[in-house]
């Protein structure tokens, strides 16, 4: 048996009893007629008692019907409450439940009217006539209802029930009641705490007396539920808007942090990472997902960084800390980092954590290392002219130069040791030659194992007395090699070095490509310089007549050296024998 059937049984039983009473009354009436014919009388109380009993059953039936109706309304109200409070779409839910309210109250029409929280205007949000949801109806589109009733209810916060609006003294003079031929009107406030949100309005233009206290109580209960639901919906919408704004701001901040070239790590008071931007991820080779929410020490340990003392110092002293460090990062190798640690403060200027800003300065250190390496190759001040080197045309230019070739330690003179040890010995001698070339203003063109080639009077180291400058360099090499022999405790005879030079025109410029180029010198002058060095005696500095003439010409004819003629040089690339000399210091 269904619930409705169960609820209908008492009424059916009462009606059955009423029929039985009616049958009994009919039978007694017939019996009373028979008795009258026999001149007998039936007690009059019997018939009147049955009539009273019949009226009692009728009243009982009405009461049961009323209670069933009220129970049905209460159950419907409970169902409405569940549906409204559990639904995220409050507008649709209110529309559906409003239709049920109309049925339960026997109303013809029903509306939920809300006051716009921003403008204060009244908006018809739910209507059983138009079915329009979520859009206000204003001006001429408003339904034909008594706004006097609505305004009265909203201003007083009290419900208004008129079972016959035409005869109700409160409404008799209201033009809307007359114009819209309203009979029964029921309006209750939508109130949440002390805030009146609007009103629930139902009416009937045909029938009077269809609304009672029971319908008013039902409407009040429904209005209370609806007011809570509407307030919750507004709060939920407001929270969504705030969340959307927060999300938008967060996305903007994330984009800003992501685009910042410096790594940014924000650590809260519990030492948990809550900000870890793209640059920090790239620098430390740790993904943001692995960092955010994890302990800062765990994140730094993954990157093999030790910043415990610095983080503690920032918190203790509430002051900024800056440092540079070198670290071996997993997946990246050796890097150089510049770190700035600052207190992370809240709106009350209270320290709540630490912000770490890091910059990868590995490229700067590499640049400094490169500059240092270049300074080992180029003389002091030459590195500053590196831009000029890069801007020299690829085609080169003709220029008079003096070129030196120096064999600092012939291979045959090296002891029988490992290649690594031989390289170490060669580097000792090359270091001496390099220092002398730089000191005398020469440019090292290239190293060739145990030999070095240097140029004087290029575009980068112009010098009018370049031949004398080159000869001074060779003599300085000799002095320093002698000092090295003494340091090593050796006394080679003859000395190891073999130095030759030549003065003449050569083509100087960059060779290679636009992406990779090298400054060098080409031409017969360079080739002859090499031939002079190849024909020089071990432990001797050999020059040709051209170099000697250049020295004399630019030195007023004076000769400050011990110049000793030697056998002319003739070899590959030379069309005729060349006068040559061995040079020593005077005295």
Q: What is the pLDDT of residues 316-374, one digit of tens each?
A: 888 888 888 887 888 788 888 888 889 888 888 888 888 888 888 888 777 677 666 66
The answer to whether 104 and 72 are in contact (CB under 8 A) is yes
What pLDDT is attached to residue 491?
A: 93
The span from the CA of 427 to the CA of 449, in Å, is: 9
- Helix (H, G, I), strand (E, B), or coil: what is residue 24? helix
- Helix (H, G, I), strand (E, B), or coil: what is residue 335? strand
Q: Is pTM beyond 0.85 here?
A: no
What pLDDT is attached to residue 490?
A: 93
The span from the CA of 496 to the CA of 538, in Å, is: 6
Residue whose tokens read 């009539």? 51
Q: C-alpha 383: how far from its chain's center?
A: 42
CATH number for region 260-360: 3.30.450.20
The answer to whether 501 and 543 are in contact (CB under 8 A) is yes
Q: Which of 74-78, 240-244, 548-552 has the highest mean pLDDT?
A: 548-552
Cis peptide, bond prior to residue 442, ω within 30 of zero? no
- Helix (H, G, I), strand (E, B), or coil: what is residue 449? coil
Which pair of tokens denotes residue 473? 């360099």
The answer to whether 46 and 96 are in contact (CB under 8 A) is no
The span from the CA of 5 to the CA of 169, in Å, is: 43
DSSP 114: E
> Is the pLDDT at 462 greater than 60, yes or no?
yes
The span from the CA of 6 to the CA of 63, in Å, is: 17
- H/E run at residue 485: helix 466-488
Query: Which residues, 6 or more positions from 52, have their beta carbon under 8 angstroms from its beta carbon?
Result: none
> Is the pLDDT at 1 greater than 50, yes or no?
no
Q: What is the mean pLDDT of the chain?
A: 79
Residue whose tokens read 């000697």? 548
Instruction: Identify the CATH class of 87-237.
Output: alpha beta
Which pair of tokens denotes residue 131? 């079915």
Comparing 584 with 296, which gets the higher pLDDT?
584
Which pair of tokens denotes residue 351? 């320290």
The span from the CA of 444 to the CA of 453, in Å, is: 6
The answer to whether 377 and 444 are in contact (CB under 8 A) is yes
* Model pLDDT for residues 387-421, shown as the tens digit of each residue: 555 555 555 788 999 999 999 999 999 999 999 99
* Model pLDDT for residues 149-202, shown as the tens digit of each residue: 888 899 999 998 876 544 455 555 555 554 555 678 889 998 888 889 899 888
What pLDDT is attached to residue 512?
A: 58
Comparing 238 with 423, which gets the higher pLDDT?
423
> Is the pLDDT at 440 greater than 80, yes or no?
yes
Query: Which residues, 6 or more positions from 460, have their beta carbon under 8 angstroms from its beta carbon?
Result: 382, 385, 388, 389, 443, 519
Say what angle helices 90-105 and 44-86 make with each other, to 10 degrees: 170
For residue 585, CA distances in Å to 319, 471, 481, 558, 559 come to 65, 10, 15, 14, 11
Residue whose tokens read 């507004």? 234
> Is the pLDDT at 17 greater than 90, yes or no?
no
Query: Which residues, 6 or more positions from 345, have their beta carbon under 8 angstroms from its beta carbon?
Result: 351, 352
The span from the CA of 546 to the CA of 567, in Å, is: 15
Domain over 379-585 is classified CATH 3.30.70.1230: yes
> Is the pLDDT at 80 greater than 70, yes or no?
no
* Model pLDDT for residues 53-73, shown as the tens digit of each residue: 777 767 776 666 666 656 665
């Amino acid at each position: 048996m269904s619930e409705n059937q169960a609820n209908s049984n008492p009424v059916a039983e009462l009606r059955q009893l009423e029929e039985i009473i009616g049958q009994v009354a009919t039978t007694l009436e017939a019996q009373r007629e028979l008795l009258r014919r026999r001149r007998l009388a039936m007690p009059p109380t019997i018939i009147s008692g049955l009539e009273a009993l019949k009226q009692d059953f009728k009243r009982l039936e009405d009461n049961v019907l009323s209670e069933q109706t009220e129970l049905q309304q209460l159950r419907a109200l409970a169902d409405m409450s569940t549906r409204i409070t559990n639904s995220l779409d409050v507008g649709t839910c209110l529309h559906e439940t409003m239709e049920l309210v109309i049925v339960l109250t026997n109303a013809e029409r029903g509306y939920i009217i809300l006051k716009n929280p921003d403008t204060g205007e009244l908006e018809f949000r739910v209507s059983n006539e138009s079915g329009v949801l979520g859009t206000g109806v204003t001006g001429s589109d408003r339904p034909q209802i008594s706004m006097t009733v609505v305004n009265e209810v909203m201003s007083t916060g009290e419900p208004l029930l008129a079972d016959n609006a035409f005869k109700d003294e409160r409404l008799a003079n209201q033009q809307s009641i007359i114009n819209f031929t309203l009979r029964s009107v029921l309006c209750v406030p939508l109130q949440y705490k002390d805030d009146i949100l609007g009103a629930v309005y139902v009416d009937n233009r045909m029938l009077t007396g269809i609304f009672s206290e029971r319908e008013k109580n039902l409407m009040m209960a429904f209005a209370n539920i609806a007011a809570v639901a509407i307030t919750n919906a507004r709060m939920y919408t407001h929270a969504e808007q705030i969340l959307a704004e927060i999300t938008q701001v967060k996305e903007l901040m994330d984009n800003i942090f992501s685009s910042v070239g410096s790594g940014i790590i924000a650590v809260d008071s519990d030492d948990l990472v809550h900000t870890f931007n793209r640059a920090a991820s790239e620098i430390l080779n740790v993904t943001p997902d692995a960092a955010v929410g994890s302990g800062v020490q765990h994140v730094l340990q993954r990157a093999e960084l030790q910043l415990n003392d610095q983080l503690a110092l920032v918190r203790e002293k509430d002051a900024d800390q800056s440092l540079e460090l070198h670290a071996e990062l997993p997946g990246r190798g050796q890097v150089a980092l510049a770190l700035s640690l600052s207190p992370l403060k809240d709106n009350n200027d209270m320290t709540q954590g630490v912000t770490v800003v890091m910059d990868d300065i590995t490229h700067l250190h590499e640049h400094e290392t490169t500059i240092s390496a270049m300074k080992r190759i180029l003389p002091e001040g030459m590195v500053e002219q590196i831009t000029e080197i890069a801007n020299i045309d690829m085609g080169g230019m003709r220029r008079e130069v003096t070129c030196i070739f120096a064999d600092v330690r012939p291979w045959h003179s090296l002891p029988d040791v490992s290649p690594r040890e031989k390289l170490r010995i060669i580097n000792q001698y090359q270091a001496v030659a390099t220092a002398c070339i730089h000191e005398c203003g020469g440019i090292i063109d290239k190293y060739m194992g145990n030999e070095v080639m240097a140029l004087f009077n290029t575009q980068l180291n112009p010098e009018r007395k370049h031949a004398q400058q080159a000869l001074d360099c060779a003599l300085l090499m000799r002095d320093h090699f002698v000092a090295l022999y003494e340091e090593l405790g050796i006394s080679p005879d003859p000395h190891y070095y073999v130095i030759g030079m030549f003065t003449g025109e050569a083509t100087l410029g960059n060779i290679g490509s636009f992406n990779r180029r090298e400054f060098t010198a080409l031409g017969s002058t360079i080739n002859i310089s090499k031939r002079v060095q190849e024909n020089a005696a071990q432990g001797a500095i050999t020059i040709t007549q051209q170099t000697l003439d250049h020295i004399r010409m630019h030195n007023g004819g004076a000769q400050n050296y011990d110049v000793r003629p030697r056998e002319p040089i003739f070899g590959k690339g030379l069309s005729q024998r060349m006068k040559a000399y061995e040079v020593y210091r005077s005295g």
